[in-house]
Amino acid sequence: MKPASRPPRPATASGDSGGNELPSVIAELRALGSEENRTGIARFGINTARAFGISMKSLEPLARKYRRDHRLAAELWASGHHEARLLAVLIDDPKEVTPAQMDRWAGDVDSWDLCDQACLKLFVRTPFVEEKIAGWAADEREFVRRAGFALLASYAVHGKETSEATFVSFLGLMEVHSKDGRNFVRKAVNWALRQIGKRSPVLLGPALKVAGRLAASDDKTARWIGKDAMRELQGRVR
Q: What is the CATH number of the domain that holds 141?
A: 1.25.40
Tell me: do 116 and 158 sit in the same domain: yes
Distance from C-alpha of 197 to C-alpha of 217, rounded to nearest angstrom: 19
Residue at 107 is within a domain: no
In this predicted model, what pLDDT tens digit does every residue of 82-92 receive, in sequence order? 999 999 999 99
Ranking 10-19, 21-30, 108-117 by mean pLDDT, the lowest is 10-19
Ranking 19-23, 27-31, 42-46 by mean pLDDT, the lowest is 19-23
- Of the three residues 96, 120, 150, the one that is the final residue of a domain is 96
CB 56 within 8 A of CB 29: no
Asked if the model's pLDDT at residue 4 lies above 60, the reply is no
Tell me: do 89 and 129 sit in the same domain: no
pLDDT band with cut points at 50, 70 and 90 for residue 108: very high
Tell me: do 69 and 183 sit in the same domain: no
Instruction: Using CA atoms of 182, 143, 147, 167 in order, give the dihedral in degrees to the nearest 10.
Output: -30
Distance from C-alpha of 48 to C-alpha of 82, rounded to nearest angstrom: 7
Using alpha carbons, select from 10, 31, 215, 158 the residue that is nearest to residue 150. 158
pLDDT reported for residue 235: 86
Mean pLDDT of 22-41: 95
Residue at 103 is within a domain: no
Number of folded domains in the chain?
2
Residue at 63 is within a domain: yes
Q: Cβ–Cβ contacts within 10 Å for residue 132, how many?
A: 23
Tell me: do 91 and 149 sit in the same domain: no
Tell me: do 42 and 131 sit in the same domain: no
Distance from C-alpha of 11 to C-alpha of 134, rounded to nearest angstrom: 43
- Of the three residues 72, 96, 120, the one that is the final residue of a domain is 96
Tell me: do 77 and 153 sit in the same domain: no
Using alpha carbons, select from 145, 136, 170, 143 the residue that is nearest to residue 156. 170
Distance from C-alpha of 148 to C-alpha of 218, rounded to nearest angstrom: 25
Residue at 106 is within a domain: no
Cβ contacts of residue 135 below 8 Å, gap of 6+?
Answer: 103, 148
Terminal Cα-to-Cα distance of the chain (whole angstroms) = 45
Cβ contacts of residue 104 below 8 Å, gap of 6+?
Answer: none
pTM of the model: 0.89
Asked if the model's pLDDT at residue 11 lies above 60, the reply is no
Residue at 197 is within a domain: yes
The percent of residues in the chain predicted with pLDDT above 70, rounded, is: 92
Amino acid at 107: G
In this predicted model, what pLDDT tens digit does every residue of 191-228 receive, in sequence order? 999 999 999 999 999 999 999 999 999 999 999 999 99
Domain span including residue 214 = 112-238
- Of the three residues 96, 128, 150, the one that is the final residue of a domain is 96
Tell me: do 141 and 183 sit in the same domain: yes
Residue at 14 is within a domain: no
Mean pLDDT of 70-97: 98
Tell me: do 134 and 47 sit in the same domain: no
Quick one: angle between helices 201-215 and 164-176, nearest 10?
Answer: 10
Asked if the model's pLDDT at residue 137 lies above 80, the reply is yes
Asked if the model's pLDDT at residue 6 lies above 80, the reply is no
pLDDT reported for residue 19: 55
CB 77 within 8 A of CB 117: no
Tell me: do 77 and 118 sit in the same domain: no
Residue at 13 is within a domain: no
Cβ contacts of residue 66 below 8 Å, gap of 6+?
Answer: 25, 72, 87, 91
Q: Cβ–Cβ contacts within 10 Å for residue 41, how many?
A: 19
Residue at 177 is within a domain: yes
Instruction: Tell me what the pLDDT averaged over the chain comes to.
Output: 92
